[in-house]
Amino acid sequence: MSMEEIYADSIKDPSKQPKKLLRKAYDGTIIAMSYAEILLNRAIKDFGTEQQVGFPDTAYHLPVITCLSGEKVTKLGELVPILNRMRNQVRTELTFDNARLWGESTLYAAEVIETVNYLRGEEPKTKPWTGFLGDPIVRKHGIKMVDWTIPGVAVILGRAKDSPSAKKIVDNLMGKGFMIFLCDEIIEQLLEENVKIGEDYIAFPLGNFTQIIHAVNYAFRAGLAFGGIPAGERENHRDYQRRRVRAFVLQFGERDDVKIAASMGAIFMGFPTVTDQPLSEDDQIPDWYISEPDYEKIVALAMEVRGIKLTNIEIPIPVNFGPAFEGESIRKGDMFVEMGGGRTTAYELVHMVGADEIVDGQVTVIGPELDSIPEGSKLPLGININVYGRKMQSDFEGVLERRIHYFANYGEGVWHVAQRDLCWVRVSKDARAKGFLMKHFGELLLAKLKQEFPAIIDRVEVTISTDQATVEAGLIRARARYQTRDDRMKSLTDESVEDFYSCLLCQSFAPNHVCVVSPERVGLCGAVSWLDAKASFEISPNGPNQPIPKGASLDDLKGMWQSTNDFVYKASNNTIEEVNLYTLMDKPMTSCGCFEAIMAIVPEVNGLMLTTREHSGMTPCGMTFSALAGTCGGGLQTPGFMGIGRTYLLSKKFIPADGGIARIVWMPKELKDFLRGQDFAQRAIDEGLGEDFLDKIADESVGTTVEEITAFLEENGHPCFDLEPLM
Ligand code: SF4
Ligand code: ZN
């Protein structure tokens, strides 16, 4: 069904247009347009038409305009004809069809207004208000929005009837795992109630009313970055928003005409508005603009009209649970108890056992519980998870074990980092005050494992020990298992296996993207190894990870097989004909949007550089991570650029066709530190580059321009100059 057909369904009798609402929306549009024109004219008077404009940290110019019309605005004067055009599309007849165009014009107006505000330095500068959200944030969190890791997006503006009600609604949404954008006084109301908001909670307090446009430009950039939809393809962008971004608007308190016009902008994108104001029938549009004064019902109704269903099961624990808490950190002062992280003995282990060695559904705690220790304690920790399943394989133990990290962090007030015998856990005072115990920690892991892996797990039993002697004994057993697994991993090479695996998970938002995952090349998100893909195929045989029987190769050095070509061609909707696994210069793998790092060539020094999602600064190829991601993301094959998972750098199959790691001339310090921890030195020795090769690679302390790094590379005898010419 096209978008226009969907709208047509809501007002079946064209003579029954909601005149009252449409009148206000029209008036609001005129006000918004005039206001934008006034601000723009004044700005031109003060700064001139040549004045550079733009938002910070984005490669997408003024994103709403970029998406909808394809115009890449960089100067103030360029906005004049754009705004004129938008004013000309405002027709006076009060119909729902026209209202969506008013909405579109209002979005343009809001973007112009905010552009001028940024030019004048009037954006919010104090925390927690965020203003414009840069591309790094879109890339980090936007993916959860379009791949539906989060169930939906709530844009809330206005002022709730009182602060406790505001808190209740936001708590409800957070508990369900929503991404939230906030505008207007509700932000103060939530702060008054000590609700935790900010990037860590994927609840963004944008600013005042016009800053709502930053939720809009965030959503549009997701279409560009993850959907691979070219700038200016207006209908495709709208379609992407409606299909992938499950958003709705909650409008609290007094409505003015401009707010109503802005709601038409949301409707133009496919997002309904629900308001808490009691409204007559001709002040509403069925399915799109509706009234629900009852705060107990408003969220459920908004979800219903946007078609959002929760698949999450209820877990019997006293704290909230969901991806909204994934980024939450627990500082020392907020912590009730701490375990592992070098402070105490700790480990976590998933172990496959026989059918008669397990009591399904049992959670046992051995040693002191949280209700018997003082605040600020440290405890040893042993997490033993026994699993049994007819289709379980010992190869999958590590796959399940790494999920502990995500599951644990989903708990509000529970924080987890690292893995195996390096794991580190904190529980907050808040969680403890709500009654959280280690038993609940076990319940949470048990429930999530069962929920996410029903195909390979039939029985789960969790034993948590906090008793020193028990933990120490368990640690010895755990280390023996880790060793066995590591030995097995070492024996897995691209040559030694029969099958590679596809990953099509990112096609939900990058429709032509295909990852080919081999034992020696992890998926570019870093989260899907060959073993993960294999396990996932067992879990859902028709799912995103399919075996690709390797067969004979066409090119050993570049890594091309007939089988992978055939698979990729079909899976990329006949867009990618050939792909090489071991080079970035010739038909490289496509890049979606969730790569951990990006490689790009630096032709001047015959080398290549890498930058990471964590590094926001400039790089020697003249682009930041965001700009690079804009160049090669969205499921494109871009020779000379490629997204990768970090651990691919440690692989013997790291672009051998291009000279391997010897090609690397620059990377951020942060990535160097990561590689040091992963024994990159051994890789360098194996390649005959010497154990100090990492020190020959430049980083941001050396410089971020080709000139700055060239001298450094020459002084340090970097091998790049002796390699075959890259191009
Ligand atoms: Fe799968 Fe590749 Fe997406 Fe990772 S980046 S989820 S491996 S398609
Ligand atoms: Zn991806």
- Atom 4 in ligand 1: residue holding the nearest Cα: 525
Residues with CB under 5 A from ligand 2 (ion): 506, 525, 592, 594
568 lines ligand 1 (CB under 6 A): no
Give me ligand 2 centre to Cα 631, in Å: 15
Written as one letter, the residue type at 1 is M
Q: Which residue has the higher pLDDT, 379 or 489?
A: 379
Give the pLDDT confidence of 698-720 residue by residue, as tens digits.
999 999 999 999 999 999 999 99
Q: Hey, is 350 helix, strand or coil?
A: strand
* 2 band by pLDDT with thresholds 50, 70 and 90: confident
For the cut 80, the answer to whether the pLDDT of residue 498 exceeds it is: yes
The residue among 675, 611, 701 whose CA lies nearest residue 709 is: 701
For the cut 90, the answer to whether the pLDDT of residue 47 exceeds it is: yes
* 594 band by pLDDT with thresholds 50, 70 and 90: confident
For the cut 90, the answer to whether the pLDDT of residue 402 exceeds it is: no
Give the pLDDT confidence of 412-431 residue by residue, as tens digits.
999 998 889 989 999 999 99
417 lines ligand 1 (CB under 6 A): no
Phi and psi angles of residue 503, each rounded to the nearest 5 degrees, phi first: -135, 125
d(CA 339, CA 42): 59
CA angle 423, 427, 428 (to 5 degrees): 145
119 lines ligand 1 (CB under 6 A): no
Instruction: Determine the pLDDT at residue 506.
Output: 81
Instruction: Determine the pLDDT at residue 367.
Output: 97
Instruction: Determine the pLDDT at residue 49.
Output: 97
Mutate to test the pocket of ligand 1, among 512, 516, 524, 596 (most ligand atoms within 8 A of CB): 524
Instruction: Determine the pLDDT at residue 46.
Output: 96
For the cut 70, the answer to whether the pLDDT of residue 125 exceeds it is: no
Ligand at minimal distance from the CA of 528 is: 1
Give me ligand 1 centre to Cα 589, in Å: 12
d(CA 660, CA 583): 9
Q: Which residue has the higher pLDDT, 152 or 143?
A: 152
For the cut 80, the answer to whether the pLDDT of residue 14 exceeds it is: no
Instruction: Determine the pLDDT at residue 305.
Output: 92
Tell me the average pLDDT across 596-622.
95
* 313 band by pLDDT with thresholds 50, 70 and 90: low
Q: How many residues does the chain have?
A: 727
Q: Check: CB of residue 657 under 8 Å from CB of residue 580.
A: yes
Instruction: Determine the pLDDT at residue 311.
Output: 67
Give me ligand 2 centre to Cα 225, in Å: 11
Q: Name 427's bridge partners.
A: 337, 414
% helix, strand, coil for the chain, step of 5: 45, 15, 40
Average pLDDT of the residues of the chain: 93
Q: Check: CB of residue 167 under 8 Å from CB of residue 197.
A: no
571 lines ligand 1 (CB under 6 A): no
506 lines ligand 1 (CB under 6 A): yes
644 lines ligand 1 (CB under 6 A): no
Can you give the pTM of this predicted structure? 0.68
Mutate to test the pocket of ligand 1, among 592, 596, 632 (most ligand atoms within 8 A of CB): 592
Written as one letter, the residue type at 573 is N
Give me ligand 2 centre to Cα 582, in Å: 19
- Would you give the DSSP letter of residue 235? H
For the cut 70, the answer to whether the pLDDT of residue 312 exceeds it is: no
d(CA 579, CA 642): 12
527 CA: nearest ligand 1 atom: 4
